Structure 1
Amino acid sequence: MGKLKVGVVGCGSIANHRHLPEYQNNPAVEIVAVCDIVEERAKTTAELFGAANYYTDYQELIQNNDVDMISVCTPNYLHAPVSIAALNAGKHVLCEKPMATSEAEAKDMIAASEKSGKKLMIGHNQRFVPSHQKAKELIANGELGRIYSFRTAFGHGGPEGWSADGKKSWFFKKEEAFIGALGDLGVHKADLLRYILGEEVKEVASFVEGNAKQNSTVDDNAVALLRTESGIIGTLAASWAYVSSEDNSTVIYGEHGIMRLEEDPVYSMIIQYKDGSTVNYQLGQIQTNENQSNSGVIDHFVSSVQNDEQPLITGEEGWKSLQVIIAALEANETKKNVQL
């Protein structure tokens, strides 16, 4: 079997910092094409990563018969159209999060994947963080006994420090982003909680604000209250207004102890037991915008295509996590709890 040939649609920060370098480091892959509506950006990216072709129209990239798989790294409103077109053209798709801007779009993506028999994976990298994987395993093994509650947060100073277009970024435009910090960061945590706790969210309440960024038409601070099927309750906070340092921590409160994830700079997991004892785990650092190592997402996607296996975060999984966030938007608008 020759190398898998990949094309990347969208040459912004996530493509240049995560997808392309990780494809480049994967010996099973050859980067053959990139696409961006800004021609100069597409050309520069192609040169940087040794892609033979660059395009400004994603339809042209998708029609390239050399391409086996595609990463969708566009603004959110294009995730579904590009993914569906690529799946229909017989390409495997890795799509950035949030996977879509509505239930209809998400369902259409899942249907396109099923019809074409090609993989659809959503890039929820929090599942690949070593402390999060360990937490899932320990909770499933009953290490904390019954789980009562949690709090999780994902916040940093905002996309202007990270996006290719800075303060003019699509991230701040509702018609292109659909949703702000809640979709950019909150959806990661919805996915993480579902993964770690091993159960679905059943009810959501929320407060969603745009109180920190000028010239923005999306939310930048959101707090959601979640209740799972077994009655675990907790908070999920997403923010673009944590101005000094990033917060990506999760705390799980159980019958036998408290598990603290990605809260301490040295120990990525700390368990404080009811009897007063503490166990510290050093399990490798989480990804931040400043500290880029291998996210695990790209390698997992490549291996699922190579071995014809179901990826860890299918379209269905991506939708279940997005559903929590869409419910939070609805709860804020209606001022009523939303049942899932």
Structure 2
Amino acid sequence: MDKVRVGLVGAGFIARIHMSAYKEISPYVDIVGVCSGRRENAERFAKEYGIPKVFDNYEELCASFDVDVVDVCTPTNLHDEVIICAAKNKKHVMCEKPLTGYFGEDTDKELVGIEVPKSFMYKKVLEKIEKIEKVIKENRVKFMYGENLVYAPSIEKMKRMILASSSPILEIRAECSHSGSHASYAKKWRTSGGGSLMRLGSHPVAVVLHLKHYEGLIKDGKPIRAKAVWGEVGNLTKIDKFLKEEKHYVATSWEDVEDWSVIVIDFEDGTKGIIFSNDISLGGLKNWVQVSLSSGMIYANINPNNMMVAYTPEESIWKEEYIAEKIETKAGWNFPSPDDFWTRGFPQELKDFILAVIEDREPISSFDLAKETAKVLYAGYYSSEEGRKIEIE
């Protein structure tokens, strides 16, 4: 095929990031249509980006003969149904992270994250993963997992250095944190499927898993997989001292989801991964990865990094110019990102996905990474409730 024809399901924040990335690979792709939960949002989006067709719903988009690939840019609680619909219509699937979660579908409990046992959630997520995988395999379509950090230039360089060293990875540490989401959906388990571990931790978990997969493939021809998970979560914005403060600089009002988490992954080769993710970290988005080799150390400071440094005494000086994601103020010293989407791997990710379809090959970030990430995340929740390590099924 000359160009891959893509239909977008969703017209929100991540869809806009994808449209920016698609511009970088325009010789390979045509965006032929879009749909959204509200048609007026899709119409506004289509007009802004010059997309020729607005579909009434995702079922219509997935069934269209004009679409080769369905790009799922919906909230996570809608992923399952869109993925399955696309696959049954023989459409390849791009899906944003994380793959799936538990959203209280079979309970009327108000505080899902508090009132539903995590062991039950873990079981349900495993069932969802199995169902999605079955439909993908039966219909022989490609699944491309939207974990952009796997494609970050610093992670690509890290992989080349790991290959050059021929040394085993003993430990990987990684973090994704910031000062918290103010979106209402993020405050509730029923719409977010979890708190900081689910929303933010899915990034570093996937990167750590990917690096161990890569190590195993280049050395032994098979991925090194997660064996067990220990997890701990907390609600640090609900402690008495914090609540007594008059002004808060981080997001608050979390209902039944956590704002802090850490998990430790035991890999089948005896090595470790440590993941930090929280919504109580001031100073902007933090994405970093640290690899401890037997013969060296590698640090990837994705966000922030000191490629650029800037200072201003007043926030208004930089006006509307983008500096960095999630910074509380543009005043003082900051680290402007010259191309934040490139630094975090978005155009590289979508180029790999589109070329995977054209060349009929597996993408670098595939269903294999998506399902193991989901398992690790919910094993982390399960572990935090049980107070013990959870073996990965």
TM-score by length of 1: 0.85
Cα displacement string for residues 69-90 of structure 1 (whole angstroms, at most 9, x for unaligned residues)? 1111111111111011001111
Matched, 1:177 2:192: yes
Q: 2:374 aligns to what SS in structure 1? A: helix
| In the alignment, structure 1 residue 205 sits paired with structure 2 residue 227 | no
Determine which of 230, 237, 258 is the counterpart of 2:269. 230
- Is the CA contact 1:93–1:121 (under 8 Å) kept in the aligned structure 2? yes
- Look up the match of 1:307: 359
Asked whether 1:118 is paired with 2:141, we answer: yes
Kept in 2, the 8 Å contact 1:24–1:49? The answer is: no
Q: After superposition, where does 1:34-45 map in structure 2 within 5 Å?
A: 34-45=34-45
Distance apart, 1:243 and its partner CA: 2.0
Check the 8 A contact 1:5/1:68 in 2, yes or no: yes
Code of the aligned partner of 1:13: F
The amino acid across from 1:246 in the alignment is L
Superposed CA offset, 1:11-64 (max 9, x none): 1101112x1222244222111111111222111111111122223421122122
Cα deviation 1:224-252 (Å, max 9, x = unaligned): 11221122224210112212122211222
Relative to 1, partners in 2 of residues 1:45 and 1:142: Cα closer, same or farther, differing over 3 Å?
A: same
Instruction: Give the match for residue 61 of structure 1.
Output: 61
Residues 315-337 of structure 1, C-alpha deviations (whole Å, 9 max, x = no match): 12210122111110110111111
Q: Is the 8 A contact 1:106 1:315 kept in 2?
A: no
Query: Which residue does the alignment assign to 1:191?
Result: 206
Say if 2:341 is the partner of 1:292. yes
Indicate yes or no: 2:232 matched with 1:219: no
CA distance in structure 1 between the aligned counterparts of 2:73 and 2:187, rounded to whole angstroms: 16
1:154 has 2:176 as partner:
yes
1:337 paired residue number: 389
% identity of equivalent residues: 26
CA deviation digits over 1:279-326, x for unaligned, max 9? xxxxxxxx9677233611111111101111111122122101221111
Unpaired runs of 5+ residues, structure 2, are 102-124, 216-223, 238-251, 308-323, 327-336
Matches of 2:200 and 2:389 in 1, distance apart? 21
Tell me, yes or no, if the aligned pair for 1:136 and 1:195 is still in contact at 8 Å. Answer: no
TM-score, structure 2 normalization:
0.74
Looking at structure 2, the residues matched to 99 and 232 of structure 1 have their Cα atoms a distance apart, in angstroms, of: 25
Q: 1:260 aligned to 2:299?
A: yes
Structure 1 residue identity aligned to 2:305: P
Matched, 1:22 2:24: no
Instruction: Measure, in 1, the Cα distance between the counterparts of 2:383 and 2:260.
Output: 15
Q: Deviations over 1:118-168 (max 9, x none)?
A: 11111111111122122223224435x3433332111122233xxxxxx33
Query: Matched residues in 2 for 1:261 and 1:116: separation?
Result: 38
Which residue number corresponds to residue 285 of structure 2?
246
Q: Secondary structure at the match of 2:165?
A: coil
Distance 2:168 2:256 in 1: 41
> Structure 1 residues 226, 24: CA separation in 2 closer, same or farther (over 3 Å shift)?
same
Give the match's secondary structure for 1:159: coil
Runs of 4+ in 1 over 3 A off after TM superposition: 140-143, 287-290
Residue range with higher mean Cα deviation, 322-331 or 131-140: 131-140
**Contact between 1:110 and 1:120, CA under 8 Å: does it hold in 2?**
no
Shift of 1:211: 3.4
Aligned AA for 2:135?
A: A
| CA contact 1:133–1:196 (8 Å) conserved in 2 | no
Question: Does the CA-based 8 Å contact 1:24-1:30 persist in structure 2?
Answer: no
CA contact (8 A) 1:110 1:316 kept: no
Cα pair 1:35 1:58 within 8 Å, conserved: yes
Asked whether the equivalents of residues 187 and 253 of structure 2 are also in contact (C-alpha less than 8 Å), the reply is no
Q: Which residue identity lines up with residue 175 of structure 1 in the other structure?
A: R
Letter in 1 for 2:85: A
Q: Which residue of 2 aligns with 1:278?
A: none
In the other structure, the counterpart of 1:323 is 375
| Partner Cα distance (2:293, 2:210) in 1 | 16
CA deviations on 1:240-284 (whole Å, 9 max, x unpaired) are: 2212122211222233232212177247xxxxxxxxxxxxxxxxx
In 2, the alpha carbon distance for the partners of 1:158 and 1:65 equals 41
Aligned match of 1:32: 32
Alpha-carbon separation, structure 1, partners of 2:70 and 2:82: 10
The letter for the 1-side match of 2:225 is E
Gaps of 5+ in 1: 161-166, 268-286
AA aligned opposite 1:200 = R
Partner SS state of residue 248, structure 1: strand
- Distance in 2 between residues matched to 1:3 and 1:251, nearest whole Å: 38
Q: Which amino acid aligns with 1:184?
A: R
Q: 1:234 to 1:115 in 2, by over 3 A?
A: closer
Q: Is the 8 A contact 1:203 1:339 kept in 2?
A: yes
**Which is worse superposed, 41-50 or 208-217?**
208-217
Larger Rg: 2
